[in-house]
Structures are given as structure tokens and as C-alpha cells.
Amino acid sequence: MEPLDTEADPRVVGPFELLARLGAGGMGVAYLARRIPLEGLPDEMAAAYRLIEPDHEAAADPDGSARLAVVKMVLPDLLNHQPQARERFAREIDAVRAVVSDRVPALRGADPEAVEPWFAMDYVAGPSLHALVKESGPLGVGPYAALGLALVDALRAIHGTKLLHRDLKPSNVVLGPNGPMVLDFGLAVLSERQSGQALTRTGDHMGTRPYMPVEQLRDTKHVEEPADVYALGATLFFALTGRPPYPVMPLMSPPKWDGVGVAFVPLLAQVLVASPSQRPDLDGVQESLFALLADAGLTLDAATAQLQDRIAAAGLTPELPRQALADHGDPTVRELAQHAVDRGDAPDAPWADDDPGFYGLVDTDEIERAADAAADADGPAAPGEHPPTLLDPAPASRPAPSPPVAPAPRAEAHGDPEPVPTSYPLPPPRPGDDAEEPGAAAPQPPPRAARKVAASIRERYAHRGDL
């Protein structure tokens, strides 16, 4: 967990305040975040954000300040260079939303149509299985069986919605306060086959080679549930040895059993085989794990308690940043987001005249300046006004702002240009927006964040050889 990069990371994504950077993967970057409790958020806007707020949790946490989330965004470079990245990300959102299980974090919100798509899911406070085993050693019988049964429950829920994971591995298993949780779904094979344009072609490789079976290495698209069963066995193999069954990729021959106790070999030897038809199903894995507990004289409750004690003793739960431990989020961030909602705009609407950001991003520098301006104010603002920020119209005493980027001329003979589509419901035009009265004030320059985006677009197109 790292602090936000004030030059690169946003501060607000949709109605979520970002608190820290958790890491980056092949498709996107993940942030620790907190839901911003906004008053008067229209139903259509909440629906556009796909916000989910279970009644029992809302009653226990009325302002949303106690819940933390993980916000995942697609990397901009990926959107620029891989046209299918947005659709892949949208399907990952659909997969997370479809699975309801205590072993899978719940979806809390999403906007796959945003300029920079994102989704939010519950944050699980705990180390990954990979970190636990690497730092504190292999698991014993009780914790091993409790882990295996939790992963069986997670895969059963995933498969029950006709989905596959296709990338189960130790780093995608988080050991939270309520037990193991499975993260980072692969693509939904059923949805992909039903769609007109399949995103995964025959022969494509997806997943992590040391934890995938031979059939997935050869053809990711056409794998079935036994592929996830194999990955479950490979993850359990790691829990005992601290290494995958094969260091580079799956082989047709059995793995080396060094470090695997005799009691664990029967189950793993059945699962880690090259032929999918010879592997047990999830019910068979569950039966073997319960037999292992019975032979050790343990109940599932006792084994689960041993696993939780092991996690607590390791002391590897990530330390939360100070702002995540506060009772409420940053008041300046909440005020700016609430101001946008009061205007009838989305909290990150790019068309808001005094919006603190651009296309879903709130610049950290602007928030700090807004806080300073509010602190330096002589008195309370008049009704209907708000503390000035650098995004407000500049008073006459200030130096003249830099000239705005000149808009493209209108082609009157052909009418106005087509409006640019957005992922937000556009507000109605405001009276006087197009009026050109004598003595009217000169138009103000666009927000600094907007000018930066425009400059980036010009630079990008300047290097396009086909234009």
C-alpha cells in the first residue's frame, strides 16, 4: 500500500474518495477508497454508477464512513492500444456482480462507460496467501484444510453462475477477518461464447502458467471447470511448499513431491494431472479435505480457528493510511463532490464549470488549494455561494489568466457539430450560456485539468503518421 501520487493518481472516482494506491496489474491499477456519502444523489445517477448498498449494512453504517472499498481502473495506455480492453473490463464487472458469496468481495459500484472505466468492490483487510506462506512458512493440516474448503466454496459459487475464474493462484487469495476470499476473476466463458464477438481466441493464453493446467496453456478459451480445480490444487500445493507444482509451466509428468507430507499426496496427486477428465470435481475435493480433517481429529470450526490464529500471529495485515482510519472522509473532497450533485451534475462530471476535475479525476493540487482558500476566508460564504477555488472565475485584481485554447470554428453552412457522447446524463442548458450581451465578461479559460488533457491529445495526434 503506497501513498497517492499527486501528479498521476486521481483523488475522486465517481462517488469514491481514493485514499492509497494498492498496486497495478496487467489491465489496471487498484486503489484503497471510501464511498463519499452524498445527499440528493439522483436515482438515475446511482443507477449509472451501479451503486449497491445492502439495507442491513446501510443501517449499521448510515453515512458510509466505516466501509472501505477497492477501486480498480483500466490503465489509459491499455485503452489506447487494445480496443478490446474496455469490453474485457466490463465483463469482469459483470462477473464480480454475478457471484454472491461470502468468499468473493461484493461489487459496490461501477462505470464501465466512463472515459477511464472503473469499478469498486469491498476491501478485504488481510495478507495474501502468497505473502503468508512466504513470510511465515507452510500451513499445517488444520489451516490447510480450512483454506481448501473455503476455496471450494468460492469456486462453487463462481461455477454456479456459469463462470470460470481461470487465474486462481496464491496472490489472488486474501486471508481476511472472515476467512479466505478470492479476487480477480477471469473472463466469463459462457458470456463470451454467447456474444457475437468473442474476446478470447482459440490459442490465446490467459492466466498464470505455474498454476494453470496443460489444457489452459494450449487453449484458454475452451477450458471447463476442471481447469479451476487444477488451479485450486496448485494453490494448495503452494500452501504446503511455498512453490508452485511446476516452476515455469505445467508438464505432462507428475510434480516433485518434495516437502509434501504423506497425508496430503492422495488429494493433490488426483488433482494435479494432465487429463481434465481424471480430476475430481469440487465435491470430490471437499470430501477429501473433510477426510483429512477427520484423520487429524479436527472439526472444521477448529481448523478455521487455527487458520485465523496463524494469520493474526503473522502480523502481515496491511497497515491502513491515517485518513482511512478517520471517522469521516476528507471534508473538502466531500464538499466539492456534493456541490457537483447540488448543481445537477455527476460528482466527476466533465462539463461542470467549477468541477474540481476532468473525466472522473479530481486533481489533488486543486483540492489542497480549495482547502487553503476555505481556511483563509474572512467569514461564512453568502447563501448559494461556496469558497473560491482556482477553478472559479478570477477576480479583476488577479493577473489575467493564460489565453484559453481556441475552440474549433463552427461550420455555419452545415449547422452545429454533433455533440460529443458522454457516459453521464447531460444537464439542461443554463439561461444566458450563449448570450452575447454588450459589456458581458469575457469567457473564462477551461479548468487547468482540461487544458492538460487537451495538450495531451494534441501531442498524441501530432505523432500519428496516418493523419
d(CA 447, CA 449): 5
Q: Provide the pLDDT for residue 442.
A: 52
Q: Is the pLDDT of residue 31 over 80?
A: yes
Q: In which band, very low, low, confident or very high, does the pLDDT at 356 lie, cut at 50, 70 and 90? A: very low
**For strand 68-74 and strand 118-122, is the pairing parallel, antiparallel, or unpaired?**
antiparallel
**How is 327-339 classified by DSSP, letter by letter?**
SS--HHHHHHHHH
Q: How far apart are CA 311 and CA 67, in angstroms?
A: 22
Q: For the chain, report the end-to-end CA distance as a whole number of angstroms.
A: 42
How far is the C-alpha of 270 from the C-alpha of 282, rounded, in Å?
12
Neighbours of 221 (CB within 10 A): 18
Looking at residue 380, what is its pLDDT? 46
Residues 49, 43: contact at Cβ < 8 Å? Answer: no
pLDDT at 381 over 80: no
pLDDT exceeds 50 at position 133 = yes
Higher pLDDT, residue 459 or 39: 39
pLDDT given at position 123 = 94
The overall average pLDDT reported for the chain is 76
Chain position carrying cell 465483463: 91
Q: Can you identify the CATH homologous superfamily of domain 127-317?
A: Transferase(Phosphotransferase) domain 1 (1.10.510.10)
pLDDT interval class at 458 (50, 70, 90): low
Would you state the pLDDT for residue 337? 86
What are the angstrom distances between the C-alpha of 297 and each of 106, 138, 290, 303, 429? Answer: 35, 20, 10, 10, 72
Q: Give the pLDDT of residue 52.
A: 76
Between 350 and 145, where is the model more confident?
Answer: 145
Q: How many helices (H) and strands (E) does the chain have?
A: 16, 10
Longest dimension (CA), the chain: 91
Q: Where do the DSSP E strands lie in 320-418?
A: 357-358, 361-362
Position 438 pLDDT exceeds 70: no
Helix 282-295 vs helix 300-314: angle between axes, to the nearest 10 degrees? 90
The confidence score (pLDDT) of residue 102 equals 93
Q: How confident is the model at residue 357 (pLDDT cuts 50, 70, 90)?
A: very low
Residue 179, beta-bridge partner list: 176
Q: Which residue has the higher pLDDT, 6 or 384?
A: 6
| Residue 114 near residue 357 (C-beta atoms within 8 A) | no
Pick 12 or 239 by higher pLDDT.
239
Q: What is the pLDDT of residue 457?
A: 56
User: What number is the average pLDDT over the span 395-407?
Assistant: 45
pLDDT value at position 404?
A: 47
Closest CA to 167 of 247, 227, 95, 221: 227
What share of the chain has pLDDT > 70, as a percent?
A: 66
- Torsion sign across C-alpha atoms 448, 451, 455, 457: positive
Is the entire prediction scored with pTM above 0.75? no
The pLDDT value given to residue 346: 80
The phi-psi region of residue 275 (left if phi > 0; otherwise alpha if psi is between -120 and 50; otherwise beta) is beta
Whose CA is closest to 9, among 17, 24, 21, 25? 21
Please determine, for residue 294, whether its predicted confidence score (pLDDT) is greater than 70: yes
Q: Write out pLDDT tens, residues 177-193.
A: 999 999 876 544 433 43
Query: Looking at residues 364-378, what average pLDDT do you find?
Result: 52
Query: Residue 145 contacts by C-beta under 8 Å, 6 or more apart in sequence?
Result: 289, 290, 292, 293, 296, 298, 300, 303
CA angle 242, 245, 251 (to 5 degrees): 160
pLDDT band at 16 (very low <50, low <70, confident <90, very high): very high
From the number of C-beta atoms within 10 Å of its C-beta (0-12, 13-18, 19+), residue 199 rates as middle
- CATH architecture entry for 1-125+319-397: 2-Layer Sandwich (3.30)
Domain borders along the chain are 1-125+319-397, 127-317
- pLDDT tens for 83-100 read 777 887 787 788 788 888
